[in-house]
Structure 1
């Protein structure tokens, strides 16, 4: 009886607490917006951590991604104190939470598109970076439209050619939502905009991992992930685009859930932390003791056998990234700056134990 009550409570509160926080913030006096948003983000994170294990009909991918999404309002709390700028991240978080809970491709694609539109409105409102934000928003919205068209074709068409076209549009749209491919100049890899952009990346990558292993989606994810990985390595980037590329390669292999979640966690931690470039480069490399070491080994283990040339290309990219690394251990004296590093270090040391847990997907689109 107690378990059933907790399951119903989790199903109500975990996806909907960002919407409740947004409604309360719309009634909060302007002078208290920042402190209230900070309190609501912390309370929501605690609710997600405590009740996510009781969510019915969910698997490790949904629960892990949901915890990452729940961290975003807390990590993005710094910034402007305007009412719209405070409320929109909570609304976008609500859309992604619902997308992670849903079990159908079309509503998930619609929720990702709504989140993309909300974040485009939020980012383009800043005059200082409106042009750069609009370029990024245009790519994300184009991806949302393609994903919606693809999901509609895949779910409603009985013709094989139309279904293959739907798979192609859906795969390309999700790649654009995940930020793969060339990115506009001036897009920050760290800070509040990068943290909010991780919402769309996590939602799109979670759906990528669930798609059936069809020839079209497999080839699109493989080429997009490998191409973006090398673009990031050649541009000396260590931010979320590199992690999204590696997670996409996991999706190309039929859903390697654990390494994809480790890559997403590293991307969110690096773009949200106040760490130096040297620290971020080590944390995002395939060197121990950070979680990318375990994730990279798992990815290469599933890539080298079916696609030896792709696996060798990924190995070469990871080797170049590792060769540029200058090791810097986190210190207790700079605990604010190194908090994300300490969390990644703990996750990296415990990641071998996570391999003992079941990571099978609870549902896949038909």
Structure 2
């Protein structure tokens, strides 16, 4: 690739799809100013493979003030395109072709993944398998099922977003895992969308693909977890003198999966000195993360889905989310017994209420072509929120006296 846009498709190659009036090449990015001859999002979909072969990602921008042929600040100046038709003064759109990343090993992604595997192994072994890691460090690898389950759920969620973004030609990074050596071993994973989102359809597909893919993985992990034998809690842990314990409450989806497994006569009931297999907890965490990601606010998956379905009215929906979370926190504060350490689960919803307020203020993603979403996707979006509610419990955990 030349790096100057010289190898991008010529205006003549866009004939029949996009009428080019002027072209600007700046720092390797090529902008074709003009008018689409088909529906705007269809123009991008039609031309994307052609640009991909030349090493470019493609998106469409609206031009509120069309540039003139002699516009300054371009390199080289915007000029009428050979073979193009029309005047630059009537342009409303610009096709934007940006050079794709040349590739190579994503060392930051790899490093974070390795660190997250290490932290999840440590937390899984010490907290969920009750292994004395300090005395028997090599036994840490016995926690590999928990690591595979936890990172598998998170990774498949993010890869769902990644696959949908690549399908729509949106430039996106591979997942960044976040290590955190406490409770879960990780704070999740994220991807960075670097390209423009061309349409509501693309925004919806990218937003919904993560939760649906993650839920499939979560259900599979939970099913497997309930078939595994419970973990024996060592006496040193049961009599360790801890002043409090954390009880986790199951959402409706997990209760349904457990009931299904028990109906089949598979798995063993948890005894008085036992705990569920840690893989089950990985499924619980997957459901909890799914619900939080589906909050219809800002740049969360739920925010993308609602923005794609209802358009600008998403901001009204998002404004109600912090109030709902604060109301839930207040209800729990008034109705739940005081926990032994001074704060309870209500603080979780206060935290997410504050976070949701910030995300609502920042606003949702804005697709380039803001046309209504088709009914089929709207129905899928509503069904996805229904699945998200099945992953919700108002008291996901509580702290009690041991």
TM-score (normalizing by structure 1): 0.32
Radius of gyration: which is bigger? 2
TM-score (normalizing by structure 2): 0.30
Please state which structure has a larger fraction of its residues in strand.
2
Please state which structure has a larger fraction of its residues in helix.
1
